[in-house]
Amino acid sequence: MRAKLEVLALVLGFIGLFGTITVTALPMWRVSAFIGANLIVMEELWEGLWMNCYSQANIKMQCKVYDSLLILPPELQAARGLMCVSIVLVVMSIFITGCPTQKSNLCGDNTNSKNTTLALGGSLYLLSFLTTLIPVSWVGHSVISNFYNPTVLDADKRELGKALFIGWATSGILLITGIILLFNYSKRRSKEEEPYTDAYLIAEMDVQKEESVYLERTPSSFHKHQEYV
């Protein structure tokens, strides 16, 4: 059962890697909102971490890479860095968790090394969950706050893009993967401690036997009299 969970965690890890790369590359973090005076539905603006895209009806979409990082709002600047960190963490987690699986021979027969790498991989998955959830939630909070802010012009208001929803789903997958690996780690540790506990109890019983006083049984005087008769 634990081997199947480890394989499931590895599959979820690859899905999480694909999700983080997709979220980082998609330009649909913030999309134009068609409200108030901004009712030109034939035009649409997408804003991402690396570029913005502008499309019109029956016209090919045009995308432009940002000229400078400083022109981005703080939440998109932080999101760009954190999402890159997430990709690196997920890649490291996949390589690390591929070693301690029960069907893998990469770590040999060293059980302690397998358990250590399993715990490390699970911890990295949880860290990648945070580095994915924080930027996505930060940008989502900023979009919602500006949308309901009466001081912001309707033309400057944005809606939640598809990349944010994919990011939330990806962060959930990374969280589940980390929990599965840490759960297997705890099970392995408890299984390893059982033989040591039994050996300790046996050794303790041996010590008690050695410390016990052996009393030699001596025949009574009546027994000797019976033998003499």
- pLDDT tens across 122-138, in order? 899 999 999 999 999 99
Domains annotated for the chain, with CATH where assigned, are: 2-225 (1.20.140.150)
Residues whose CB is less than 8 angstroms from the CB of residue 85 and which lie 6 or more positions away in sequence, other chains included: 128, 131
Edge-to-edge order in the sheet of strand 43-47: 59-65, 51-56, 43-47, 30-32, 158-160
pLDDT score at 54: 84
pLDDT score at 192: 56
Residues 22/166, Cβ–Cβ less than 8 Å: yes
Residues whose CB is less than 8 angstroms from the CB of residue 55 and which lie 6 or more positions away in sequence, other chains included: 43, 44, 46, 61, 62
pLDDT score at 199: 45
Residues 17/31, Cβ–Cβ less than 8 Å: no
Tell me how far apart the alpha carbons of residues 121 and 119 are, in angstroms, rounded to a whole number. Answer: 5
Residues 46-67: tens digit of each pLDDT: 899 999 888 776 677 788 898 8
pTM of the model: 0.75
Residues 89/131, Cβ–Cβ less than 8 Å: yes
Helix (H, G, I), strand (E, B) or coil at 62: strand
Does residue 112 carry a pLDDT above 80? no
The whole-number average pLDDT for the span 101-130 is: 74
Vertex 13, ends 93 and 187: CA angle to 5°? 75
Bridge partner residues of 63 (DSSP): 53
Residues 136-159: tens digit of each pLDDT: 999 999 999 988 888 887 777 888
Backbone angle region of 36, left / alpha / beta, with phi > 0 → left and psi within -120 to 50 → alpha = left
Tell me how far apart the alpha carbons of residues 93 and 106 are, in angstroms, rounded to a whole number. Answer: 15
The whole-number average pLDDT for the span 9-30 is: 93
Tell me how far apart the alpha carbons of residues 180 and 159 are, in angstroms, rounded to a whole number. Answer: 34
What is each CA distance from 226 to 120, 141, 222, 223, in whole angstroms?
A: 78, 102, 6, 5
Does residue 176 carry a pLDDT above 80? yes
Tell me how far apart the alpha carbons of residues 26 and 48 are, in angstroms, rounded to a whole number. Answer: 6
